[in-house]
Structure 1
Amino acid sequence: MGQRLWICGTDDRLPRRASRGTVPCLLWAALLALPALAEEPATKPPEKPEELRYLLGLRISSGPEYPGARRQAQGLTPLWALYWGRWRFTTAGTGAMMGFGSEAASPGPGASRDWLRGEHWKLGVGLRIDSGRDSDKSEITQGLPDVPRTLRGRVNLQVELDPKWTLSAAWSPDLLNRRGGAELSVDLGRSLYRSRHASLTLGLGLSASDRRHLQSYFGVPEGSEAAQRLGRSYEPGTGLTGASVNLSYLQALTPRWVLVASWTEGRLLDAAAASPIVETTRQRSASIGLAYRN
């Protein structure tokens, strides 16, 4: 039987004799082309645009008029948060509402973003406005110097000890040097219950401040009107300011509506507790809020 001659092209690598039909020739050409195709870089998928996410709501809260006050103050405050890429802009407590069911909670109020991240830890930085203190707003602090509004920085480290335990520490200095001083806090969180739609978290906290912060918020300058009224002056040094236990509950009513409730039992410690403007070292607060997220 005779054999037919097939020409597969002008490339010298291609055979000039093959079996019947063109299929073997085409397969040979395809095999020769595979190395060249493998060398070509894969097409990189287009990056997703940074998603803009927001949350809006209201919260009813009750807490001491100022740290150490016996009288409780109630109020209605707005809840809002804005996430754009790695940047977060939040009020207190809204980071957990934004992230519930999808990501870890925000490290605190103000503007923040993650700086470094590992498998079980992350380091973040942030900024927030500290409203200071208007001493005339409370009877016990009248006659004390006001504490000016300032800008605070924040460095926050969060470590996941295991799926249920989280340890975090934050340092917050007064960047404008307006008598705000620096604050340090350490918090240990324990997840008591978590489902697709609800979570209950227990938190234990300990805080400390430098001498400048304690003097601004708990000190009584010698010769001041407040020192005459209280019968003595007071100049604290660096030390512990408080310890607290917190319970926080989150409930996703729908994919968009989230309910949050919290209760905190705290106590002033050390130099803060010894201040003559402290009426009681017991600090109790509670709040409940409702918000919509996109």
Structure 2
Amino acid sequence: MLPAAAALSCAVLAPLAHAQDGPPPGWVGPAPGWSGGVLMGAAAVPEYEGSRHTRVQPVLGGEVYWRPGVGPNAASVAFGSRGLVWTPWQTTAGTASLGLSVDPGRVDDDERKLTPAGLRPGSADLRGMGEVKMTALVSASGSVALGPVSLTGALRQAVSSHRGTLMEAGLALPWQLHRHAKLTITPGVTWADRRHTQAYFGVTPQQSAASGYARFDAGSGLKSQQLVFDFDMAFSRAWHLQALLRVHRLTGDAADSPITQRTRQTSGLLALRYEFQL
């Protein structure tokens, strides 16, 4: 489970607009050659998934793309805030990608260390619950165009630590407000297997004795529903303003867990993005 700030940063960086000279007509994805972007701003996120407390923190991210200029269907490679992502298929009909990233886990105190995926989630409210250790994540994701909207999906598997699995699905609804401003609204859902849900929302007998929370066995099922509003406005070919609002509601065992203080949570990000092409 990526922290909300990192997830917001990934959502912002994923659709990097094309750099100064622009891609050929009909091109989908990064422009040919080397390109990328840098994101600078601030995010407001829950201390951990299910927390009633919110923290504000700076966000600094970036991503570099490489794509051979051999046609609009050419594969691309990206490295940065989303980890390492290979996209072998990207057309107007849809996209498909494979990725390697980091799940920062969670701590049970207020000393959240910086990781490649951002500050680790956690709170002193979880004292006695112990640490959910960091792990690498492998993922497969894609989208399918359905007229003006896109059906999106992702499968994420933890390599070590809890070894949990997440499946995500959403529907991206773009709205062109102005020639240089676009709002994308994406409702979505997330399903989690028992290993993931137990690691983040379950309470073992040992954890119960150490923390005071009641014992709780968490199972697989629909973990959350979310609605994302992503606004992008271009000041020039290189500079963009990004504003993102994510409304998130925990469901099932994630909502029923004794460590869940609030099932409805809101995250936000406001940032400037600079894009370049080499």
TM interval, shorter chain, is 0.7 to 0.9
Partner of 2:85: 112
CA contact (8 A) 1:239 1:270 kept: yes
Q: Secondary structure at the match of 1:124?
A: strand
Listed one character per residue, the Cα deviations across residues 113-148 of structure 1 (whole Å, up to 9, x for unaligned) are 223456512221111111111122312211113111
Alpha carbons 1:266, 1:283 under 8 Å: kept: yes
Matched letter for residue 159 of structure 1: V
Alignment CA distance shift 1:195-1:228 (3 Å):
closer
Any stretches of 5+ residues in structure 1 without a counterpart? 1-48, 92-108
* Distance in structure 1 (CA, Å) of the matches to 2:237 and 2:265: 34
User: Is structure 2 residue 55 aligned with structure 1 residue 65?
Assistant: no
Name the one with the larger strand percent: 2
TM-score (structure 1 length as normaliser): 0.73
When residues 194 and 125 of structure 1 are mapped into structure 2, their CA distance, relative to the original with a 3 A threshold, is: farther
1:197 to 180, 190, 213: 180
**Which one of the candidate residues 112, 117, 127 is aligned to 2:100?**
127
Q: Would you say the 8 A contact 1:59–1:79 is kept in 2?
A: no
Q: How does 1:142-161 map to 2 (within 5 A)?
A: 142-161=127-146
Structure 2 distance, partners of 1:134, 1:226, is 18
Trace 1:1-294 onto structure 2 (pairs within 5 A).
Answer: 51-85=33-67, 86-91=76-81, 109-117=82-90, 120-137=93-110, 138-163=123-148, 165-175=149-159, 177-224=160-207, 229-230=212-213, 232-294=214-276
Given the superposition, is the C-alpha separation of residues 119 and 277 from structure 1 closer, same or farther in structure 2, using an over 3 Å criterion?
Answer: same
Deviation at 1:284, TM superposition (A): 0.5
Shift of 1:246: 1.2
CA contact 2:128–2:211 (8 Å) conserved in 1: no
Deviating beyond 3 angstroms after TM superposition, the runs of 4 or more aligned structure 1 residues are: 116-119, 225-228
For 2:96, the aligned partner's letter is L
What's the counterpart of residue 94 of structure 1?
none
1:11 maps to: none
Partners of 1:282 and 1:134 lie apart in 2 by 21
* Deviations, residues 197-244 of structure 1 (Å, cap 9, x unaligned): 1111111010011111011111111132566512x1111011111101
Let me know the Cα RMSD of the aligned residues: 1.8
Describe the superposition over 1:37-75 as per-residue Cα deviations: whole angstroms up to 9, x where unpaired.
Answer: xxxxxxxxxxxx962112123121101110110011110
Aligned residues between the structures: 226
For 2:79, give the aligned amino acid.
Answer: F
**Partner residue, 1:101:** none
The amino acid that maps onto 1:199 is: K
Kindly state the Cα deviation for residue 155 of structure 1 after the two structures are TM-superposed.
0.5
**Alignment-derived partner of residue 45 in structure 1:** none
Distance 1:292 1:73 in 2: 25
Contact 1:134–1:146 (8 Å) recurs in 2:
yes
Q: Retained in 1: the 8 A contact 2:78–2:85?
A: yes
With normalisation by structure 2, the TM-score equals 0.77
